[in-house]
Amino acid sequence: MAFWLMKSEPVIFSINDLAKKKFGGWDGVRNYEARNFMKSMKVGDKILFYHSNALPSGVAGTAEVCRAAYPDPTQFDRKDGHYDPKATAEK
């Protein structure tokens, strides 16, 4: 089991949002190092949920990885701000 720090801006997606939904995907990640870390996550790994750009910023709660990594669907959606015209399903 590994431990990970996942950062989110609470105005976009907070620990309270996660608590209501029970699970959530992490979309829009375009930094290769962060993406590769996320690919390394295994079901059952623990997460420290970090609120950035908050007063105060810091760890707001804990979570657990509940699904193996999968491609970010927003990269294929032309209407989404995270759309990537170079993305292919094979990558």
Q: Which residues of the chain have pLDDT under 50?
A: none
Q: Give the CA angle between residues 53, 54, 58 to the nearest 5°.
A: 95
Q: What is the pLDDT of residue 38?
A: 87
Quick one: tokens of 68?
Answer: 């193996």
The domain defined by 3-76 carries CATH number 3.10.590.10: yes
Domain extents in the chain: 3-76
Q: What is the pLDDT of residue 50?
A: 95
- C-beta neighbour count of 51 within 10 angstroms: 20
- C-beta neighbour count of 8 within 10 angstroms: 20
Cα separation, 88 vs 70, whole angstroms: 13
